[in-house]
Amino acid sequence: MTDVSNAQQLITELRNSRQALSIDNEVVEFVEYFGAEAGELCLELVHQTKPELILELGLAHGTSSLYLLQGIVDNGFGRLLSMDPYQFESFKGVGLKNIQRAGLDCFHQFICQRSDIALPLMINEYGGQLRSDFIFIDTSHQFDQTIVEAYFCDKILKPGGLIVFDDYGLASVKSACNFIESNLHYVPFGRQCNNVRVLRKTAEDDRRWYDFVPFSVDTTDQMNWRRERDDDNKNG
C-alpha cells in the first residue's frame, strides 16, 4: 500500500480493497463505519459553510475525517480536531494512519480522550475562545452520552454553526435530537440523508431554570436498524 495524496482517492481504495494500515503499518480489515451518502453530504456542508474549526467526536477508521479534511483542503483553510479514546485500543490507530496516508495530518489535531471528559476541560481552560463552526458527533450513541456531548458542544458551537449527528436512525440518537430541537435553538439545515441529522444553531441557550419542552422518544428496534445499516455499508 502506498501513500495517497487525496482523501477521496484513499476512501475509494479502502472501499475497494477492504484493507487498511494500522498505525504500526499492519494490514488490517477496513470496516465501513460511515457510508458514502453521509460522507458526500458532510463534504458538501464543509464546502458550503467554510468552517474555520471542525470538531469531530469519534474517529474509528477515519472515513468521516477524510471527507471533512478533504473539504478543508478544497476550501483552502480550516482545521479538524478529533476526539476518540479508543483509537489505539479498538481501532489500532487506523483512523490516524489514514489521515497520514492522505497527507492531511497537518490540518488535523487528535485528542485520545473521552469527549464527555475532554470537552468540559477544554471549555474550562479556553472559555469563550474555543468556538467551532461545525461539529460532527459519531460516538457511543447511548442516549445520555449523546445528550451530554450535545450539551457541551452547544457551549462551543457558534450561532449559525452546524452540528451533525451520525446514525440518526438509532432510536437513542433520534430521541436526543428530538430533545435538542424541542428545547434548544436548533433547526434542521439543508439536505438531510437517511442516516444523518444536520442541525443549525440559531441562537445561544437562553432557557430559564424551569424551562422544559416535552419531546418525542423514538421506539425503533436499534439492533435491527444497525444490522440493516451495516449491510448497506458493506454493499455500497
Q: What is the pLDDT of residue 32?
A: 85
Angle at 42 between CA 206 and CA 136, to 5 degrees: 45
Question: Could you give the 3-state DSSP secondary structure of residue 112?
Answer: coil
The helix/strand count (H/E) of the chain reads as 8, 9
| Residues in Cβ contact with 53 at an 8 Å cutoff, skipping those fewer than 6 apart | 78, 79, 81, 131, 132, 133, 134
Q: What is the pLDDT of residue 128?
A: 82
Question: Letter for the amino acid at 5?
Answer: S
Cross-sheet strand order for the sheet of 53-57: 108-111, 79-83, 53-57, 132-137, 157-166, 196-201, 186-188
Contact (CB, 8 A) for 59 and 91 = yes
Q: What is the pLDDT of residue 57?
A: 98
Q: Over its length of 236 residues, how does the chain's per-residue pLDDT go in tens digits?
A: 444 458 989 999 999 999 999 999 999 999 988 889 999 999 999 999 999 999 999 999 999 999 999 999 999 999 999 999 999 999 999 999 999 999 999 999 999 999 999 999 999 998 888 999 999 999 999 999 999 999 999 999 999 999 999 999 999 999 999 999 999 999 999 999 989 999 999 999 999 999 999 999 998 777 676 666 666 656 55
> Which CATH fold topology does 7-235 show?
Rossmann fold (3.40.50)
Q: What is the pLDDT of residue 225?
A: 62
- What's the maximum distance between 2 C-alpha atoms anywhere in the chain? 57
Q: Domain coordinates of the chain in residue numbers?
A: 7-235
Q: What is the pLDDT of residue 147?
A: 97
Distance CA 183, CA 6 (A): 40
| Residues in Cβ contact with 59 at an 8 Å cutoff, skipping those fewer than 6 apart | 65, 82, 83, 84, 87, 91, 95, 96, 110
Q: What is the pLDDT of residue 4?
A: 43
Q: What is the pLDDT of residue 231?
A: 67
Place of cell 460516538: 139
Q: How many CB atoms lie within 10 A of CB 111?
A: 19
